[in-house]
Copies of this chain bind each other. A is one copy, B any other.
């Protein structure tokens, strides 16, 4: 093992990196001047023919070891970056990216509840609003356990067009009435930008489901709203795609975003999805946004809710989401994963055992 030789080579690389950096920036300065000239003459900045010529010159000069194809690919990135610089450098810094070790976004709800501020927040509620009675019963139980934020799902994205699709606006009315009675904050899934204006009257926080994680129109429209949003990872999405989806929202001005890890689709079949718990520390490293873990959809079975709640807390997440229903076996959706109220109370008790930064023990319980 020649650690010295390795260190030597690495320091050469570092030196070349800095030379490349200098050249790239020098190139950008010149390109920017060209861009200004073009702008004065009203010609488009993007000039594929000029790019093609430059690539030809480079390929003729190339002696390897990089192949001509690789050199083309690299310079295309340089061209693209240059174009970006000229057209939208102001926006090019990714907004979701953590800029310093202590940067963190704290999401604030109208009642003063904070998410992302070192407490572990529990979001709970039934999979779907089904009736006043059902919703009221759950709400009462949540309040007893000190929960502040309640699911208020009135539009359910379903695999089959014939499955229960939610109560719609009447459901939202029920939820608002119950929320006002108990002083709860509501979070509700929006499926299409056309719903935003109406839903804005009922809910305290929007929710973008997995199926819409890459619906650019919806993300941009929410980016223009003045309200927090929970953004759920698609079960097939990489963490990069997840962060870029958040960027769609934030690039429109709304930074009140909570990321939600919810399990990914793998070959493993004893759970509905595979909880990707590594996503929590990785997203924390990359982004300043709060992150919560969905312990219901990740497992798809209620007997894992308590272990997953403990795991979520241990992972450093800012909170978790769990589905609670007065009578899960007759629930209109997700019957297998919703907790009954006693099961939910058991879960909260287990969480409280872990330590003291959770909401305090309910009085008189």
Complex Cα gap A33–B10 (Å): 10
- Asked whether any CB of chain B lies closer than 8 Å to the CB of A200, the reply is no
In this complex, what residue of B is CB-closest to A41?
A: B332
Q: Do the beta carbons of A1 and B334 come within 8 Å of each other?
A: no
Copies of this chain held together in the complex: 4
Residues of chain B contacted by A354 (CB below 8 angstroms): 314
Shortest CB-to-CB span from A223 to chain B, Å, is 9
Cross-chain contact of A49 among B9, B163, B274, B303 (Cβ < 8 A) = B303
- Asked whether any CB of chain B lies closer than 8 Å to the CB of A333, the reply is yes
Contact flags A39-64 to B (C-beta < 8 A → 1, else 0): 11111101111111011011001111
- Asked whether any CB of chain B lies closer than 8 Å to the CB of A2, the reply is yes
Shortest CB-to-CB span from A282 to chain B, Å, is 6
Complex Cα gap A29–B58 (Å): 18
- Asked whether any CB of chain B lies closer than 8 Å to the CB of A113, the reply is no
Contact flags A293-327 to B (C-beta < 8 A → 1, else 0): 00000110111100110110111100000000001
Given A9-B34, A216-B191, A333-B43, verify A25-B62 contact (CB < 8 Å).
Answer: yes
Shortest CB-to-CB span from A89 to chain B, Å, is 6
Counting contact residues on chain A (CB < 8 A from B), the size range is 35 or more
- Asked whether any CB of chain B lies closer than 8 Å to the CB of A204, the reply is no
Q: Do the beta carbons of A211 and B217 come within 8 Å of each other?
A: no
Cross-chain contact of A47 among B69, B94, B215, B336 (Cβ < 8 A) = B336
Residues of chain B contacted by A89 (CB below 8 angstroms): 65, 67, 70
Shortest CB-to-CB span from A167 to chain B, Å, is 11
- Asked whether any CB of chain B lies closer than 8 Å to the CB of A356, the reply is no
- Asked whether any CB of chain B lies closer than 8 Å to the CB of A141, the reply is no
Complex Cα gap A247–B286 (Å): 39
Given A32-B65, A214-B157, A277-B311, verify A24-B71 contact (CB < 8 Å).
Answer: yes
- Among the 9-residue stretches A168-176, A180-188, A234-242, the one with 4 or more Cβ atoms under 8 Å from chain B is A234-242
Q: Do the beta carbons of B194 and A193 come within 8 Å of each other?
A: yes
- Asked whether any CB of chain B lies closer than 8 Å to the CB of A340, the reply is no
Q: Do the beta carbons of B303 and A310 come within 8 Å of each other?
A: no
Q: Do the beta carbons of A20 and B18 come within 8 Å of each other?
A: no
Query: Known contacts A211-B215, A278-B308; can you find 6 more A-B pairs with CB under 8 A?
Result: A20-B27, A43-B332, A65-B85, A67-B85, A271-B282, A307-B315
Please list 9 pairs of residues, one from A and one from B, whose beta carbons are closer than 8 Å in the complex, sorted by A's number.
A16-B26, A17-B54, A20-B75, A24-B71, A29-B65, A66-B85, A76-B330, A281-B303, A285-B303
Closest 6 A/B residue pairs (Cβ): A236-B236, A42-B163, A314-B314, A211-B214, A192-B217, A42-B164
